[in-house]
Amino acid sequence: MAGLSVAHRHAMAMMVGVLRAATAPWWVIAGASVALHARRPVAVGDIDVLIGIEDVALIRALPGVRVRTPDDNGRFRSPFYAALDVAGVEVECMAGFELCHANRWEPVRPRSRVFVEVDEGLVVPVPDRAELVAMLARFGRAKDLARIALLNG
């Protein structure tokens, strides 16, 4: 898959295995999601995963997970935020993730959920292309706008 190294594919496979037990829907978002939708190579750093608050225990139980203090940087916040290194790839998991948009906090929770093939037999849920573009536009950072251009290109 364009932009996804063997390590990225391994990390996604591990998360699919862990989140098979999830009770709430979950999604890969941001750069990794763009790479899965794009028709050309996209460089991907970390993997961002949105999970339901009811599935936090699944992530907390992972060896090497680093649960971080809830962060409110003025633009994004999440009551649960954890990161772990999987095969050299940072995987960041968020539950209750919100964006401050137009001076109010809004949940970031996709309505669409499509499954995209990462590798033979390995599929991950992502927002559909239109919703991903809208999400990135709401995020509004330079890297998000560049990602929209990749999706629209």
| Residue 42, pLDDT above cutoff 80 | no
User: Considering the domain 6-152, what is its CATH architecture?
Assistant: 2-Layer Sandwich (3.30)
Tell me what the mean pLDDT of segment 8-15 comes to: 93
Range in 7-16, 66-75, 95-104, 144-153 with the lowest mean pLDDT = 66-75
Would you state the pLDDT for residue 129?
94
Report domain extents, the chain.
Answer: 6-152
pLDDT, tens digit, 9 for 90 and up, residues 58-71: 999 999 999 987 66
Higher pLDDT, 85 or 6: 85
Nearest C-alpha neighbor of 51 from the set 97, 104, 17, 13: 97
0.85 surpassed by pTM = yes
| Residue 73, pLDDT above cutoff 80 | no
Would you state the pLDDT for residue 25?
97
Contact 54/24 with Cβ under 8 angstroms?
yes
| Residue 4, pLDDT above cutoff 70 | yes
